[in-house]
Structure 1
Amino acid sequence: GGEHEEAGFVKMSREQQAMAGIKVIAIKSQKNINQIISAPGEVVNDLYNTTLLTTQIDSKVLKRKVVLGQHVKEGDVIAVLYSLDIATAQNQLKVALSEWQRVRKLGKQSVGAKRFINAKAEVEKNKSLLMAHGFNQQLTEKFILGKNNFKSGEYPVIAPHDGVILEDNFQSGQFLSAGSTIALLVDEDNVWVEALLAPEIGQRIPVGTKAKIIIGNKTFFALVIHDSHAIDETTRTRKIRLSIKNTGHLLHAGHFARVFLELPLTLKGKNDKVILLPETALMRSSDGDWTVFIEQEPGVFKQEEVELENTINGMHRIKGLNSGQRVAIKGAFFLASEIAKGGFDPHNH
């Protein structure tokens, strides 16, 4: 073992240190520390890229064009519906168009400004009415040119963007009242993870904060896109939303996730610095205080009392040490037993 030349000191040669597994480092105070916070989460659909396709007016389902789970492209037809209101609006637009053509042929001079303006306004009014019923602009333009591929009153429900059909609450022949949901279209290129955090006072999680997310046995990287300021009354947690690029569409709503956020540790004072030591550097003294072993000169260790403030990322924040001091971060147990043999306690009682 080591020599006890003076109470509270242990002297050890390099060889003895190596055999006892003692590792010494010069400690550095740190200013910019990132604290890792872990929270449970769940994958949800990216609502900014999710569309609820609904009927604008009372309609009947004529044909279903997709099945649940199908990938569709922007412009694909989801279903073909029939509506009496659309048939009526189409007829009114036809009448307005023929009047407008007649008036235009005769010219503003012949028919008078009032009739000319009214005829034009009537076309615009009926065009808007048809579009408000769910006949989109492209179809309406085609209808005006006489190139409509659908029978009177028939109209398609069209995918406004690429995505997957995740809900389809309709059957052929079914009557749907205005506002009924036809399908839920989700673009899965991006998904969200909603994480639940304990509501710490004053803790800010800025938008853009990076996070590591573990789902199953895979790791993903995400960014915080929203930090809720409200605390959920039931769970007493605060929700943050993260966005993940869902390459290969591996992730789906409902997957459980573990979220690891990296946040800069807020230090109170401007010149505040932190000294962090691993668990292995700490030993309890005979009266229960926390101590560390400081190498005062090569091979000479002294047991010093320290204060533990809190734990950051599994490391202990220590008060009572200075930057540059050499501390045993491994082998503290061995040094403590050597001191015990010498009957030393740090208070020199």
Structure 2
Amino acid sequence: MKKHLLISLLSIFCFITAKSQSKTVDTLVDVGNHKIHFKIVKGKGIPILFDSGGGNDGSVWNSILKPISEITDATLITYDRAGFGTSTIDTLQTNDAKQGIISSIEDLEIGLKKLGYDKEIMLVSHSYGGYLSTLYATRHPKLVKGVVLIDVNHSYFEDGYIEKVLATQDKLIPQWKKSNKGIYYMSATIAKTVKIMSKLSIPQNIPVVDFVNGIPFYKIPDEIERWKNCHNKYVENNPNVTGIIAYGCGHAIWMDNPPLVITAITKMYANSSKQKTEIQERALQYTIQAFNEDKKEQLAHNNSEDDLNNWGYELLRKNENEKAAEVFKLNMLLNPKSANTYDSYGEALLKINKKEEAIAMYKKSIELNPENKNGKEVLERITKETAK
């Protein structure tokens, strides 16, 4: 459903009255022995820099750039860290330690300076990218106007925990050295990165929104609890931080619930903009339309073939077979060209001992889908049982 929602939202911006005509620029910037790829959606005012998570390049943000651009009229910047996307890596530097997070932040600083965006800025980051936002904010505390952190690592890997994680990857890291330099250097230097970042935090005068997932990507209870506690402690210890639990969302929160993240970003941006009222008005219009589209998608989903089919099987699991048959019958009537609806209805009819009607349903299902192996097997079984 969420994917459909995002597609719908991308088509609603005719109602937004932003005056800018955005122009996108893709460029490789020489940062010394290698080049970093930047994508820039041209705008005005304070730019917004997006930092992706580990293993991702800047394209991971593409789905939300247009609405944020339309609402804020700001310049949006995404980039690929060395070894990711179309960015190259310093092949002359063979020392793993020199390819760590300090190298990454220096690449970013050089690139932004050459592009003319080394002044006031707002930061948005995901997962590992939170380290870069924190590092940039500590190095340029007077320039960073706000930070939106999306399910970032915080102190999760501290206190020797990163060594435990690395122990499970000891066979993978050498493989990455051959196949994926970006992943390799990030993994080879992550212990040092954690040590560096354990001593740093975003200055408390900078406003921060901290998102944490509602659907844990970790599976072990202790790991889930550790991740939640890291975010809780971060919010509790920083009076200028707003914590948000993204219910129903996994690690990539902006993909699972675009309006939630887009609204948080645009709200923070409005607070540091001279066009605060205009941006807030556009954000409000977007939010109203987004929630209306979401409701529309929910209604469509609730009456979809899959939803009715799932509902029917849920009733079968509860042994409410008569009710299940009615739901499957409705689904068949609403979707008369679907082989699966006849197959499911036939299954429920067998449960309530309406064998002849069930046979008719299975035959219709096979007529619509000659490859229906399940229907053929059921009909064969019924025939054998009848012959006895």
TM-score tier by shorter-chain length is under 0.3
Q: Which has the higher strand share?
A: 1
Q: Which has the higher helix share?
A: 2
TM-score of the superposition, structure 2-length normalised? 0.20
The structure with higher relative contact order (CA 8 Å, sep 6+) is: 1
TM-score of the superposition, structure 1-length normalised? 0.21
Structure with max Cα Rg: 1
